[in-house]
Structure 1
Amino acid sequence: MPLKIRKTVQQMVDEANRDIETIPVADAIKLVGQAGITFIDIRDPRELWREGTIPGAINVTRGMLEMWIDPQSPYAKDYFQTGNKFVFFCAGAWRSALATKTAQDMGLTPVAHLEGGLGAWKKAGGPVQKVEPKR
């Protein structure tokens, strides 16, 4: 018998987008390198190697996000305790909407996500940094 889901991914993304801040690409491009702004790339490392990333972005894979945000977790990362504004992004803005909503629900503020993801960023001519696989 096929799975009967209660909510589609699209419904979840739409709900998240109603509750979070979305930054238009043109505005986000102006934030690169600014003090107090941290871009969080939640894509898989293989995506970074193929597509590059926003200069200075920190890669936090979606699977570790909650553990790295929570200061009580043994996996907590200090950069989430800086008080910076965090701008989450992914390839097309679905994963980042869900990640931003999760981070906000956990109490991380201020948080936002990039409208259209890295795809929209590249179309708008935003700077992209090459990422090499770690050996």
Structure 2
Amino acid sequence: MSNVDTILEDARSHLKRLEPHEVLALEDVLVVDIRPAHNRLAEGEIENSVVVERIVLEWRLDPAGDWRLPGFTAGTTVVVVCNEGWASSLAARDLQRVGLPNATDLVGGYRGWRAAGLPIREGGSEPVV
């Protein structure tokens, strides 16, 4: 097993990863898209998601931070989305470390969501800065 596989396995052992249809059933949820702009422009985005660049993710979602986004609490389920559900697992683990115990990610990522036929918006949104 490679080093990154070991790190990924450890990260996922702390997550309750969600299938696409499970996310739709949640009420207090914030879906955060960390994919690069070129992917979002080419493939679209999950409807009602917010785009946060991976480089500022922890600062924008730290529930006690000065730079946090409005509209969520430490109890909100934050679902991180990448292309296929790999990088999002590592990002969700990091969000748990900054105070979001319900942070998790989407099994299959954006492509799994789209393959399930769930609501998307075309084009790409500007990231939250």
Q: TM-score, normalised by structure 1?
A: 0.79
Of 110, 114, 123, which aligns to 1:118? Answer: 110
Deviations along 1:60-88, whole A, 9 cap, x unmatched? 11111111123564532223447421111
Does residue 63 in structure 1 map to residue 58 in structure 2? no
Q: Which runs of 5+ in 2 are unaligned?
A: none
Deviations along 1:22-51, whole A, 9 cap, x unmatched? 0122322x33xx641111111122221111
3-state secondary structure, aligned to 2:95? helix
C-alpha RMSD of the superposition? 2.1
Paired position in structure 2 for 1:20: 15
Aligned pair in 2 of structure 1 residues 94, 39: CA closer, same or farther (>3 Å)?
same
Alignment of structure 1 residues 1-20 onto 2, 5 Å: 8-20=3-15
Q: TM-score, normalised by structure 2?
A: 0.82
Aligned pair in 2 of structure 1 residues 107, 74: CA closer, same or farther (>3 Å)?
closer
Paired position in structure 2 for 1:87: 79
Q: Which runs of 5+ in 1 are unaligned?
A: 1-6
Of 91, 95, 99, which aligns to 2:91? Answer: 99
Alignment partners' CA distance in 2, 1:72 and 1:82: 9
Alignment partners' CA distance in 2, 1:130 and 1:109: 31
3-state secondary structure, aligned to 2:30? strand
Aligned residues: 125
AA aligned to 2:81 is F
Aligned pair in 2 of structure 1 residues 103, 73: CA closer, same or farther (>3 Å)?
same
Superposition deviation, residue 16 in structure 1: 0.7
Alignment partners' CA distance in 2, 1:78 and 1:98: 23
